[in-house]
Amino acid sequence: MSGQRGKGAPGQVKEVTSLANPIVKDIRALSVKKYRDQSGTFMAEGLKLVIEALDLGWEIRTLVIAKSQKTNAAVGKVAARTVAAGGLVLEVSEKVLTGITRRDNPQAVLAVFEQRFVPISDIRLTDGEVWVALDRVRDPGNLGTIIRTVDAVGAAGVILVGDTTDPYSLEAVRASMGSIFATQLAKCAAAVFLNWRKGAGGLMVGTHLKGAVDYREIDYAGPVILLMGNEQQGLPDDLADACDRLALIPQAGRADSLNLSVATGVMLYEIRRSALKVTG
Ligand SMILES: C[S@@+](CC[C@H](N)C(=O)[O-])C[C@H]1O[C@@H](n2cnc3c(N)ncnc32)[C@H](O)[C@@H]1O
């Protein structure tokens, strides 16, 4: 894949009406993980989200806008910022937008950004910080929802452990509702995670259906690593054994477990309870 920036001269505005255009083809390919990995980029849709990304210091490589939105002042501003930073702006037909997003009624704006991952070795836990570690999370909707929740509660970020779904897939980015730009992400093999954890300090709390302690009974003072299990299999023994505590969220009905993102939300609100107050 030649990469979106290289195809047109940086800082340019181009009009494109064909799905056969090579830059458009490269952007469309970003729905496939292999091409996201090769290019190290991903796609996000929506004007609000793209403005938020810019405000958080992300740079747009390629901005795609519906021709019909050219005169929209906010879209014009984003286009100007993209060109000023050396990015490429494509003004495209409705057909091209639909083709890129594979959606009827697509958003009028989408942008291509560079992926960001923090090396796990750079993560140093500081007081009160909370990281969520996800063991082999499979569902992009769950992952995006967890990233959104991590952002909402003011947790530090997400560590993807083992073979997980891609946080930069279109589905995960959509489900994160923009929080993908505000949340630090790290990824590593389980053995690397366990090795990092040994020197990381803090409290590692795993959640487990065989957990011995009610999640409300744990003292979450200090930095916390919240470890959540895979949707089908839960936490494997080696990860569960490395936890300081294994927490259970009690249930009363027939369901045998909570959805992963719901369980993560319940845990995060308890861990961050003292930091989350309604004021006024
Ligand atoms: C859908 S559950 C996995 C169910 C899996 N069949 C099992 O046996 O663990 C996904 C993850 O959410 C968390 N989880 C869900 N319900 C929970 C509960 N009631 N108590 C503690 N953790 C829970 C755990 O981390 C679990 O590994």
For the segment 96-129, what is each residue's pLDDT rounded down to a tens digit? 999 988 877 778 899 999 999 999 999 999 999 9
Ligand 1 pocket: which of 145, 210, 258, 266 to mutate (most atoms within 8 A of CB): 258
Residue 188 domain flag = yes
Measured CA to CA, the distance from residue 222 to residue 206 in angstroms comes to: 16
- Using the predicted structure, report yes or no on whether residue 4 has a pLDDT greater than 80: no
For residue 152, the CA-to-ligand 1 centroid distance in Å is 22
Examine the domain organization and report whether 150 and 104 are in the same domain.
Answer: no
Residue 249 Cβ < 6 Å to ligand 1: yes
For residue 202, the CA-to-ligand 1 centroid distance in Å is 22
Examine the domain organization and report whether 143 and 161 are in the same domain.
Answer: yes
Residue 280 domain flag = no
**Out of 7-21, 27-41, 193-207, 261-275, least confident range:** 7-21
Measured CA to CA, the distance from residue 78 to residue 73 in angstroms comes to: 9
Which helix H or strand E contains 92, and what residues bound it?
A: strand 88-92
- Which of 86, 114, 142 represents a domain boundary (last residue)? 114
For the chain, the average pLDDT equals: 93
Residue 88 domain flag = yes
Examine the domain organization and report whether 174 and 106 are in the same domain.
Answer: no
Higher pLDDT, 70 or 46: 46
- Which of 83, 114, 145 represents a domain boundary (last residue)? 114
- Which of 114, 132, 153 represents a domain boundary (last residue)? 114
Distances (CA, A) of 138 to 50, 161, 169: 26, 11, 12
Examine the domain organization and report whether 107 and 134 are in the same domain.
Answer: no
Output Rg (C-alpha) for the chain, integer angstroms: 21
For residue 149, the CA-to-ligand 1 centroid distance in Å is 17
Examine the domain organization and report whether 124 and 44 are in the same domain.
Answer: no
Contact 149, 139 (CB under 8 A): no
For residue 260, the CA-to-ligand 1 centroid distance in Å is 6
Residue 25 domain flag = yes
Mean pLDDT confidence for 242-269:
97
Residue 24 domain flag = yes
Examine the domain organization and report whether 130 and 180 are in the same domain.
Answer: yes
Give the residue numbers spanning the domain of 9.
4-114
Residue 149: CATH number of its domain? 3.40.1280.10
State which ligand 1 atom lies nearest to the alpha carbon of 206: 25
Examine the domain organization and report whether 145 and 94 are in the same domain.
Answer: no
Closest residue by CA, ligand 1 atom 8: 234
pLDDT of residue 172: 97
Contact 244, 227 (CB under 8 A): no
Higher pLDDT, 279 or 182: 182
Distances (CA, A) of 135 to 139, 148, 233, 236: 12, 18, 10, 9
pLDDT of residue 102: 81
Residue 68: CATH number of its domain? 3.30.1330.30
Mean pLDDT confidence for 252-273:
97
Examine the domain organization and report whether 184 and 101 are in the same domain.
Answer: no
Ligand 1 pocket: which of 138, 260, 262, 268 to mutate (most atoms within 8 A of CB): 260
Residue 239, SS3 per DSSP: helix
Examine the domain organization and report whether 130 and 223 are in the same domain.
Answer: yes
- Using the predicted structure, report yes or no on whether residue 226 has a pLDDT greater than 50: yes
Residue 161 Cβ < 6 Å to ligand 1: no
For residue 257, the CA-to-ligand 1 centroid distance in Å is 5
Please state, as a whole number, how many other Cβ atoms lie within 10 Å of the Cβ of residue 280.
2
Examine the domain organization and report whether 63 and 145 are in the same domain.
Answer: no
Examine the domain organization and report whether 28 and 76 are in the same domain.
Answer: yes
Measured CA to CA, the distance from residue 172 to residue 215 in angstroms comes to: 27
State which ligand 1 atom lies nearest to the alpha carbon of 258: 16
How many domains does the chain contain in total?
A: 2
Residue 212 domain flag = yes
DSSP 144: H
For residue 188, the CA-to-ligand 1 centroid distance in Å is 21
- Using the predicted structure, report yes or no on whether residue 208 has a pLDDT greater than 90: yes
Structure token pair of residue 121: 């070795």
Print burial letters for 160-181: b (CB count within 10 Å at least 16), e (below 16).
bbbebbbbbbbebbbbbbbbbb
Residue 38 domain flag = yes
Examine the domain organization and report whether 39 and 74 are in the same domain.
Answer: yes
**Where does residue 34 rank: exposed (0-12), middle (13-18), buried (19+ CB within 10 A)?**
exposed
Residue 16 domain flag = yes
Residue 265 Cβ < 6 Å to ligand 1: no
pLDDT of residue 2: 43
Closest residue by CA, ligand 1 atom 12: 260
Task: Return the sign of the alpha-carbon dihedral for residues 55, 61, 66, 71.
Answer: positive
Mean pLDDT confidence for 201-208:
97
Measured CA to CA, the distance from residue 272 to residue 99 in angstroms comes to: 42
